[in-house]
Structure 1
Amino acid sequence: MSIDHRTVDHSRLADLRASLADDFATQTSRLRELTELNADTGDPGEAHNRAELLVATRRNIEQITGALHRIAEGTYGTCERCERNIPMERLEILPHARFCVPCQEKANG
């Protein structure tokens, strides 16, 4: 089952938008906490872990922002490469998906 933009379930899309907005708020709060931590323990492993958490959090925020933008534009659920509908099952698992599985596999090489 894919999203058919002509018959999209607006309540489901509203729920998704709200869920993504909540995730955005959570990730933004996490980013703020990570950037405000200035405690240098001298442990290079801890510094590396913190840096990795910052990168992952920024990536999550970017993905969520992109999904919210696509919802606002009316392009959510459409593969950015082949322009086919992304299956609903994929979007339920990965709500920020930009590509269908075949196009994602091609992108990953």
Structure 2
Amino acid sequence: MSTGTHRHAEQDRLGDLRTSLTKQFEAHQARLTELTADTGDPGQAHTQDALIAATRQSLEQIGGALRRVADGSYGVCERCQGDIPTERLEILPHARFCVPCQQKQNG
């Protein structure tokens, strides 16, 4: 595969990823809006708080991935600056670290 063809394929992959992440981001924003609407049911407050926190975390992760795509740092480990394997990014598109660095990060 020529360098130009490889570069074009990579741009297509990142474009598809950007579209997918944007759709996920929008869906999570809509969900957060629904979750933060006052239901008036105090029995649901704890569960709703947990769902809101999880949704906010997802929005932060997706937003971070979109920023990395935009600035060209997507797929680069934030700790060692090495490449994050494509397989890892396919499973966890918002990954910020390669597996060894993630394990160090988790302690």
- In the alignment, the residues of structure 2 paired with residue 85 and residue 56 of structure 1 have an alpha-carbon distance, to the nearest angstrom, of 28
One-letter identity of the residue aligned with 2:104:
K
SS of alignment partner, residue 81 of structure 1: coil
SS of alignment partner, residue 57 of structure 2: helix
Aligned: 1:26 with 2:27: yes
One-letter identity of the residue aligned with 2:41:
T
Taking only the aligned residue pairs, the percentage that are identical comes to 54
- In the alignment, the residues of structure 1 paired with residue 59 and residue 41 of structure 2 have an alpha-carbon distance, to the nearest angstrom, of 27
- Structure 2 residue aligned with 1:3: none
One-letter identity of the residue aligned with 1:65:
G
Name stretches of at least 5 consecutive residues in structure 1 with no aligned partner: 1-5
- Structure 1 residue aligned with 2:105: 107
- Structure 2 residue aligned with 1:89: 87
SS of alignment partner, residue 58 of structure 1: helix
SS of alignment partner, residue 51 of structure 1: helix
Aligned: 1:80 with 2:78: yes
One-letter identity of the residue aligned with 1:66:
G
Q: TM (normalized to structure 1)?
A: 0.88
Residue pairs, 1:31-50, within 5 angstroms = 31-36=32-37, 38-43=38-43, 46-50=44-48
Offset, 1:40: 2.6
List, as ranges, runs of 4+ consecutive aligned residues in structure 1 with deviation greater than 6 Å: none
Q: 1:62 aligns with which of 60, 63, 70?
A: 60
One-letter identity of the residue aligned with 1:14:
G
Greater relative CO (CA pairs within 8 A, separation 6+) = 1
Offset, 1:14: 0.2
Note the alpha carbon deviations across 1:72-106, whole angstroms, 9 max, x for none: 10000000000000000000000000000000000
Q: Tell me how large the CA RMSD over aligned residues is.
A: 1.3
Residue correspondences, number? 101
- In the alignment, the residues of structure 2 paired with residue 33 and residue 41 of structure 1 have an alpha-carbon distance, to the nearest angstrom, of 14
